[in-house]
């Protein structure tokens, strides 16, 4: 498949003629609500069936890079290109490439209507992590919304395996006191482990994802001991254990979100770790990309220095934010939105979409009905392509998405086109 960035004058029908496909195939893969309403700078996935239409400025090397194939294989399949000269508009055959095998995880919070979000993504998932069971300081668990059962029933009709997420969330936020009390009591930890085992057996979960955050200082050793105790017990029962880790760039990084997360220990102990490589741009902070790729790369490079690459699962967000300008610390929080909502907003205010090439992040500005200026950052198919390439180049174990409730239909066929999903 191929990514097309819309220019002024593009229509579904002109794109279909240009790429030699049907308008219906473009609509099917992108799931646009109104194919006749397109935005300049918007990205569409084009199902080109192993062929590529040369764009102005293309080179053979760039085409080979784009499709993750060897330049020699590209020329071998297109002998006329041996001179290296290509012209915009001509068709180039793309050789099949060996796909890297990865795991793909998606988080999803149970509530009414989310089953469809899972089904839309299921062909590209290894695991669905249901978020979340709230741990109590005495080792008991508060279950998620009852629609968890509907999600699990849907999962059982697919080849996707469900994981249960356990968190130290209390009253809407991560609570260090809950975790600290748990770490101090062996009885509470044993009770928690037995409760996790009971739920996994009863409901058919394949494993657990531990997402303990905001643990503060001086808890690293206690958290490590808990993870070791949990993992040893669950491995004896043949269950999978994974952990979610804050985005660190060194082992001595300070801060309440970072200090307790020991990358090296988790990498040695659990089956895989999920790096939470997002929220640089967050709702209460200044406007910037949610996952600027330069920052993501720093985190991944540190992780690879202490964790086997095959155990590293890198997160990609499915959402962005709309900030009101000027940004005032402590003022109005930015509003979260998915890809389609961002496109609708750009369309509503007649704005084209720009792209920060350094950070692989689309954005646009607009002025609302009250005369207030806004800036919107989000993720598009160019972002996904850059992130996928990093996962492949650095031989990481997989990708995790937060979260499937933020709809982005074109991502799932794009993943299975790029990777062999385990």
Decide if 341 is inside a domain.
no
Band of pLDDT at residue 64, cut at 50, 70 and 90 = confident
CATH number assigned to the domain comprising residue 203: 3.20.20.80
Task: Say how far apart CA 237 and CA 194 lie, in whole Å.
Answer: 11
Kindly report, residue by residue over 319-370, the tens digit of the pLDDT. Answer: 999 999 999 999 999 999 999 999 999 999 999 999 999 999 999 999 999 9
Task: Say how far apart CA 77 and CA 206 lie, in whole Å.
Answer: 44
Task: Say how far apart CA 212 and CA 234 lie, in whole Å.
Answer: 18
Decide if 166 is inside a domain.
yes
Band of pLDDT at residue 72, cut at 50, 70 and 90 = confident
Which segment of 56-60, 100-104, 243-247, 306-310 scores lowest on mean pLDDT? 56-60
Band of pLDDT at residue 97, cut at 50, 70 and 90 = confident
Decide if 87 is inside a domain.
yes
Question: If you compute the radius of gyration of the chain from its CA atoms, what whole number of angstroms results?
Answer: 23
Q: Is the pLDDT of residue 58 over 90?
A: no
Question: What SS3 class is residue 118?
Answer: helix
Last residue of a domain, one of 93, 109, 124: 93
Last residue of a domain, one of 93, 113, 147: 93
Band of pLDDT at residue 17, cut at 50, 70 and 90 = confident
Q: Is the pLDDT of residue 187 over 90?
A: yes
Decide if 240 is inside a domain.
yes
CATH number assigned to the domain comprising residue 22: 3.10.350.10
- Residue 333 has a pLDDT of 96
Interval 251-259 mean pLDDT? 95
Domain co-membership, 75 together with 108: no
DSSP state letters, 212-258: -----SS-HHHHHHHHHHHHHHHHHTT-EEEEEE---SSTT--STTT
Q: Is the pLDDT of residue 82 over 90?
A: no
Residue with tokens 């999962």: 155
Decide if 344 is inside a domain.
no
Please check whether residue 183 is in contact with residue 219, taking contact to mean a CB–CB distance below 8 angstroms.
yes
Last residue of a domain, one of 93, 114, 140: 93
Q: Is the pLDDT of residue 104 over 90?
A: yes
DSSP state letters, 353-389: PEEETTTTEEEEEEE-TTS-EEEEE---HHHHHHHHH
Domain co-membership, 206 together with 68: no
Domain co-membership, 153 together with 89: no
Helix and strand numbers, DSSP H then E, in the chain: 14, 21
Q: Is the pLDDT of residue 184 over 80?
A: yes
* Backbone phi and psi for residue 173, each to the nearest 5 degrees, phi listed first: -140, 160
| Strand pairing class (101-108; 420-421) | parallel
Residue with tokens 């998620």: 144
Interval 61-71 mean pLDDT? 82
Task: Say how far apart CA 217 and CA 293 lie, in whole Å.
Answer: 28
Domain co-membership, 126 together with 109: yes
- Residue 53 has a pLDDT of 81
> Percent of the chain, pLDDT > 90?
82
Domain co-membership, 243 together with 147: yes
Q: CA-CA distances (angstroms) from residue 366 to 39, 165, 336, 369?
A: 14, 38, 16, 10
Q: 132: cis peptide before it, omega within 30°?
A: yes
Torsion sign (Cα): 154, 158, 159, 160: negative
Q: Is the pLDDT of residue 165 over 80?
A: yes
Task: Say how far apart CA 380 and CA 42 lie, in whole Å.
Answer: 8
Query: For residue 164, what are the β-bridge partners?
Result: 130, 208
Task: Say how far apart CA 165 and CA 333 lie, in whole Å.
Answer: 27
| Mean of all residue pLDDT scores within the chain | 94
Domain co-membership, 34 together with 160: no
Take residue 207 and report the two structure tokens written for it.
């494993």
- Residue 215 has a pLDDT of 97
Residue with tokens 């491995």: 235
- Residue 21 has a pLDDT of 87
Kindly report, residue by residue over 212-237, the tens digit of the pLDDT. Answer: 999 998 999 999 999 999 999 999 99
Q: CA-CA distances (angstroms) from residue 154 to 128, 149, 234, 401, 405?
A: 11, 9, 25, 19, 15
Q: Is the pLDDT of residue 282 over 80?
A: yes
Range of the domain at 207: 101-324+375-421
End-to-end CA distance of the chain: 20
Domain co-membership, 112 together with 82: no
* Backbone phi and psi for residue 382, each to the nearest 5 degrees, phi listed first: -65, -40
Q: Is the pLDDT of residue 49 over 80?
A: no
Kindly report, residue by residue over 327-338, the tens digit of the pLDDT. Answer: 999 999 999 999
Q: Which one, of 296, 238, 243, lies nearest residue 272 by Cα?
A: 243
Which segment of 62-66, 146-150, 297-301, 317-321 scores lowest on mean pLDDT? 62-66
Q: Is the pLDDT of residue 162 over 90?
A: yes
Q: Is the pLDDT of residue 36 over 90?
A: no
Domain co-membership, 76 together with 213: no
Interval 258-287 mean pLDDT? 98
Domain co-membership, 149 together with 230: yes
- Residue 302 has a pLDDT of 98
Residues marked as catalytic:
213
| Strand pairing class (373-377; 51-53) | unpaired
The DSSP code for 100 is P
Decide if 292 is inside a domain.
yes
Domain co-membership, 234 together with 256: yes
| Strand pairing class (320-325; 373-377) | antiparallel
Domain co-membership, 231 together with 198: yes
Decide if 156 is inside a domain.
yes
Domain co-membership, 24 together with 147: no
Decide if 386 is inside a domain.
yes
Q: Is the pLDDT of residue 185 over 80?
A: yes
Q: How many domains does the chain have?
A: 2
């Amino acid at each position: 498949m191929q990514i097309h960035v819309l220019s002024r004058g593009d229509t579904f029908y002109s794109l279909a003629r240009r790429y030699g496909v049907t308008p219906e195939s473009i609509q099917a893969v992108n799931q646009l609500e109104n194919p006749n309403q397109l935005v300049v700078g918007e990205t569409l996935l084009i199902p080109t069936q192993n062929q590529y239409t040369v764009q102005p400025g293309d080179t053979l090397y760039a085409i080979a890079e784009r499709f993750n194939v060897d330049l020699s294989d590209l020329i071998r399949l297109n002998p006329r290109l041996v001179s290296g000269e290509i012209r915009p508009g001509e068709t180039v055959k793309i050789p099949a490439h060996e796909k890297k095998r990865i795991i793909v995880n998606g988080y999803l919070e149970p509530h009414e209507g989310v089953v469809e979000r899972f089904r839309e993504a299921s062909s590209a998932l290894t695991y669905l992590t249901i978020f979340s069971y709230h741990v109590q300081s005495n080792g008991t668990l508060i279950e998620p919304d009852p629609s968890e059962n509907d999600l699990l029933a849907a999962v059982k009709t697919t080849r996707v395996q469900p994981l249960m997420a356990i968190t130290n969330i209390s009253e809407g936020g991560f609570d260090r006191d809950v975790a600290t009390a748990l770490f101090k009591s062996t009885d509470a930890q044993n009770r928690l482990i037995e409760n996790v085992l009971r739920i996994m057996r009863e409901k058919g979960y394949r494993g657990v994802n531990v997402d303990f955050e905001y643990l503060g200082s001086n808890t690293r050793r206690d958290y490590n001991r808990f993870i070791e105790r949990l993992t040893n017990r669950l491995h004896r029962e043949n269950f999978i254990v994974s952990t979610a880790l804050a985005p660190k760039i060194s082992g001595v990084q300070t801060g309440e979100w970072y200090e307790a997360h020991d990358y090296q220990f988790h990498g040695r102990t659990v089956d895989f770790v999920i790096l939470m490589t997002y929220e640089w741009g967050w709702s209460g902070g200044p406007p910037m990309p949610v996952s600027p790729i330069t920052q993501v790369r720093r985190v991944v490079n540190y992780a690879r220095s202490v964790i086997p690459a095959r155990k590293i699962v890198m997160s990609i967000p499915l959402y962005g934010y709309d900030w009101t300008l000027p940004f005032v610390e402590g003022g109005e929080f930015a509003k979260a939105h998915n890809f389609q909502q961002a496109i609708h907003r750009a369309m509503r205010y007649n704005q084209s979409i720009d792209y920060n090439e350094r950070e692989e992040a689309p954005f646009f500005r607009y002025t609302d009905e009250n005369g207030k200026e806004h800036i919107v950052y989000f993720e598009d198919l160019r972002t996904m392509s850059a992130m996928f390439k990093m996962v492949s180049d650095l031989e990481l174990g997989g990708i995790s998405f937060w979260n499937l409730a933020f709809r982005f239909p074109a991502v799932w066929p794009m993943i299975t086109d790029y990777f062999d999903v385990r």
